[in-house]
A and B are shown apart, each in its own frame.
Chain A
Amino acid sequence: MRRATGNAVAALVAVLGTVALAGVLAGCRAQSTAAQPAGGVTSPADATAAAVSGAGAPSATSPANTGVDSDLNSVDDQLSGLDSALAQATASPSDGG
């Protein structure tokens, strides 16, 4: 009787332990996934696959284009300032000079 009870308790502990371990592992995995940026790669294998497939190729907002776009915006500002300077250079009141 005592032995049968002991076996039952041991089995119950084993089941509970397995369930608990599974829960912890699931939690860790969920946390890991949540920590990834949106659209991010979730494993080294995925990263390798993405690199091979070209998924990381330059897009409209790639660093290379960002630098060019920023410089082109600066040029737009400079040309706007140039328009203003040229307009004022030729718009002085006369009053005899």
Chain B
Amino acid sequence: MNALTRFGIATAATAAVAAGAALPAQAQTVFGAAASSATGKAAGTAGLDAAKALATSRIDGRLETLHALELAVNNASHLTSSDRSALSTLISSDISGLTSLRGKVGGEATVSAVRADETTMVDQYRVYLLVVPKVHLTNAFDIESAAESTLQKVHDALAARLAKEPGGGTAAEKSQLADLQTQLQNAQQAESGKVSTLLGIQPGPDADAIHSALSPLTAAAKTARTDLRKARDDAKALRGELK
């Protein structure tokens, strides 16, 4: 089980814990509202405490995810040094900011102030919507770049082998070699420059805009993956014929 897989499990577990914490908190809110007509100030305090507990739980879920991402970035073997540095800086900054926000929530005197902190927690960080895809898509693009280099090496070795065959190989073999190169070029074209675009997306209140910015990048990574699979299949077929 690699670090990124462990990250997925950690994230799912964190979400489950956060959801579990949220439900009793919401129940307390309902209970507190019902009791407020009878107890006034005590009910208001209970509502504030419940709001704080919920907000703190949601922040904790994000902090757990960020710590898991931190490990994933450290263990990802194909990340370039600059991408690793950019992601580590982003994650550290978010951990610092959300930790401070967690303390601020604990000191709030009103429910509306807690709600405002939750808005900040979402809009200024976008941990789930943006940071998680940033880490995994950056890793995906860097893996694709590494696979392109490896497959180019395979292409060159197979081309040298084919050149020694009578007539430079059969028509089918030449076609496979040409397609291997074409698929590699397609993959490079699909993923080239995408990491800088991805890392440039900023968090904000407009979730749809973030979705729209991420969507073509995810599609590009998947296109490159398809091209690389075809290139790999070409290389294996040609390798099999050149035994």
Binding site for B on A (CB under 8 A): 58-60, 64-65, 67-69, 71-72, 74-76, 78-79, 81-97
Contact = CB atoms under 8 A, between A and B. Distances in A.
B105 interface: no
Contacts of B210: 97
Given A67-B157, A72-B236, A82 B128 contact: no
A91 B58 CA distance: 18
Nearest to A62: B243
B222 interface: yes
Interface residues of B, number: 52
A82 B126 contact: no
Interface of B: 2, 4-5, 7-8, 11-12, 14-15, 18-19, 58, 61, 65, 78, 118, 122, 126, 128-130, 132-133, 136-137, 139-140, 143-144, 146-147, 150-151, 153-154, 157-158, 161, 207, 210, 218, 221-222, 225, 228-229, 232, 235-236, 239, 242-243
B147 A68 contact: no
Contacts of B126: 97
Contact of B218 (A71, A72, A89): A89
Q: Is the interface of A mostly helix, strand, loop or mixed?
A: helix
A44 to B, nearest CB: 27
Contacts of B122: 96-97
A94 B211 CA distance: 12
Nearest to A69: B239
Contacts of A91: 8
Contacts of B144: 82
